[in-house]
Homo-oligomer: A and B are copies of this chain.
C-alpha cells in the first residue's frame, strides 16, 4: 500500500509484506556483545535464531572496548576470592544502585546483583578465559591478560561510605596493545551463538519493523545486496543495535551538551540510533536520552591521580580519585572553559599524545604557575596551599580524596596540564534508549510491553543510565546479562 521506501521511523504493516525471505522464532538485530548474548539466550531456550548485522563482521562497538565486565556479589568471583576480596551481594547491590544514578532501575539491579556470579560462570562456559589475577591501583585496559581491576568509584567518596569497596572489573585473558578484550569477548560469544545454530547475515541493514494490526511486532525489513528482504520473527525481534552517538540530529535534540566536546564519539561506525527509532516507530518509549557518558583518560600514569584538578577560577571541584567518567562529568559542569591538572616534579609525566593534554604552564612556585595561567592573584595559590596543608595530614576535607592518593604538591618545578573540554580527548557514547523490562520487553509510554519486541545493550536504557555515576564494565555487563535474558524471553514468548 505504501510506496515510500522503508525507514526505521515508520513501521511496515504486516499486510504490506508480500513474501517472507527469512523466517525463524527469534530475529536479532546487531552482532555486538548484546546481540551475540541474545542469540545464545534464545538458542539455549530452544529457539531458531536469525541475526542480521549491518557490518561485514561481528563486534560492533563492544569489540572496541577493553572487555571489562562488572561482576561480583555472592561472596565473590574466583578472581575476587583468590585476591582476598569477599564481595557481599548487598554491597554489590548498593553500589550498583548508586552507579545507576538517580533513576537506577532497582528491579534490574537486584536481578544483576543476585546473579552476577552465575553470569561469570556463564561467560566462562561461552569460552571466555579469565585469569584469577588482580591488578591493584588505577588502570584502564592494561592488555596484560590480568583479570580483576578497580573499574569504578568503589573506593572513592561518597561511594566508599555506602558500600564496602571491592574491585569488580573483570577483563578476559587477552594480551595486546589496546587489550583486545572486547574483541575476544565478542568472538567467543559469537562462536558460541553460531555453534548453537544462529544463522548470521552480514552486510544486512535493518530498515524497519513489521507490525500487525494489533500492534504486535512480526518481523523486520532488511536490505541485503541492495534488495529489501523481509524476515519473519515468530516469537520476537530483539534490537541490539547500539546507541545513537553517530546520529547528529538525535544528539542535538537530546544531548546538546555534546557541542562542547570534540569529535570523539566512541563507536565502531554504526551507532546511528536506528534501533531506538525502530522501537519508537511501534510506540516504544525512549528514556534518559540526554545521558551522554563522557570520560577523560587523564591516567595512566596513575601518578596523575595524585595531582589536583582546578577550573578556570583556580578552584578544585572533585575528588581526583573518582572514576574518570565522573571527573569528566564534573569538568563539563564548571563555569568557564578551562580545566587544569596540577602536578609537581615528583608526579609529572609528559601526557600521552592520545590524550591531547598540553602542558599549559610551568613554574618554580605556584605563584608563577598562577600568573602564567592568567588566573586571579591568590586563587590557585590558595587552593594549593589549603590542599597541601591538609594533604600533609593525610586529609582532604573538601572533596574526600582517599589518603592513598594525597600528595603535598611542594616539589618544584610545578606544572599545569590543560585538559579543556573541546580540546582534550573526552570520548563519549550515549546511555539513553528504549525503556525495557529486565526481560528486554520494550515498553510503551503506558509502561506496557509491546508484543514481539525486545531490546538489549545501548539500544535501551539499562543498568548504566547516568554519566555521573557510571563504572567501566557496567555496559558490557548489561549487554551480556540482559542480552541473554532478552533472548530467553523472546524464545519463550507465544508464537504469532
Known A-B contacts A289-B290, A376-B386; A253 and B103 likewise in contact (beta carbons under 8 Å): yes
Pair B277/A445 contact, Cβ less than 8 Å: yes
Per-position binary interface string of chain A over residues 405-437, scored 1 when its CB falls under 8 Å from any chain B CB and 0 otherwise? 000000000000000000000000000000100
Mask of A247-288 contacts with B, CB within 8 angstroms, 1/0: 001001110110110000000000000000100110101011
Q: List residues of chain B with CB within 8 A of the CB of A435.
A: 253
Tell me, in angstroms, the Cα distance from A105 to B379 when the chains sit together. 38
Which of A30-38, A172-180, A311-319 makes up part of the contact surface? A311-319
- For residue A320, give the distance in angstroms from its CB to the closest CB of chain B: 12
- Tell me if A75 is interfacial: C-beta within 8 Å of chain B: no
Please tell me if A398 contacts chain B, counting CB pairs below 8 Å: yes
- Verify if A354 is at the interface (C-beta below 8 Å from B): no
**Closest residue of B by beta carbon distance from A249:** B447
Give the distance to chain B from A126, nearest Cβ to Cβ, in Å. Answer: 33
Q: Is A101 an interface residue (CB 8 A)?
A: yes
A7 interface residue (CB < 8 Å to B): yes
* Residue in contact with A397 in the complex, picked from B254, B376, B386, CB distance below 8 Å: B376
Q: Which of A433-487 contact B (CB under 8 A)?
A: 435, 444-447, 466
Task: Kindly provide the distance from the CB of A180 to the nearest chain B CB, expressed in whole angstroms.
Answer: 36
Contact indicator A445/B281 (Cβ below 8 Å): yes
- Do A386 and B390 touch across chains, with their CB atoms under 8 A apart? no
- Across the interface, do B317 and A285 meet the contact criterion of CB distance under 8 Å? no
Complex copy number for this chain: 2
Beta-carbon contact of A252 and B9 below 8 Å = no
On whether the beta carbons of A9 and B445 are closer than 8 Å, the reply is yes
- Interface presence of A333 (CB below 8 A): yes
Taking the nearest CB of chain B, how far is it from the CB of A104, in angstroms? Answer: 9
Within 8 A of B (CB), among A1-60: 7-10
Could you give, for residues 369-399 of chain A, a 1 whenever the CB lies within 8 Å of some chain B CB and a 0 otherwise?
0000000101100100010011000000111
**Interface check A102, CB cutoff 8 A:** yes
The answer to whether A285 touches B103, judged by C-beta atoms less than 8 angstroms apart, is no
Binding site of A, secondary structure by majority: helix, strand, loop or mixed?
Answer: loop
Is A346 an interface position by the 8 A CB rule? no
A349 within 8 A of B: no
In the complex the two chains form, is B379's CB within 8 Å of A398's CB? yes
User: In the complex, which residue of chain B has the Cβ closest to the Cβ of A313?
Assistant: B398
As a 0/1 sequence over residues 117 to 149 of chain A, the CB contacts with chain B under 8 angstroms (1 = contact) are: 000000000000000000000000000000000
For A447, list chain B residues within 8 Å (CB): 249
A10 touches B446 (CB 8 A): yes
Q: Which residues of chain B have C-beta atoms less than 8 A from A9's C-beta?
A: 283, 444-446
Contacts of A376 in B (CB 8 A): 386, 390, 397-398
Q: Are A313 and B399 in contact (CB under 8 A)?
A: yes
How far, in angstroms, from A318 to B334 measured CA to CA in the complex? 10
- Using A101-B256, A254-B287, A288-B253 as known contacts, say yes or no to A318 and B330 having CB atoms under 8 A apart: no
CA distance A290 to B290 in the complex (A): 6
**Set of chain B residues within 8 Å of A315, measured between Cβ atoms:** 313, 315
- List 10 interface pairs A-B (beta carbons < 8 Å), by A numbering: A9-B445, A102-B256, A253-B288, A254-B287, A254-B289, A288-B290, A313-B398, A313-B399, A378-B386, A378-B389
Chain A interface residues toward B at CB < 8 A: 7-10, 101-103, 249, 252-254, 256-257, 259-260, 277, 280-281, 283, 285, 287-290, 313, 315-318, 330, 333, 335, 376, 378-379, 382, 386, 389-390, 397-399, 435, 444-447, 466
- Excluding A253-B435, A376-B386, 12 further A-B contacts by CB distance (< 8 Å) are A9-B444, A9-B446, A103-B253, A254-B287, A256-B466, A277-B445, A281-B445, A290-B290, A313-B316, A313-B399, A318-B335, A330-B335
Top 4 closest pairs, chain A to chain B, by CB? A290-B290, A102-B256, A103-B256, A9-B445
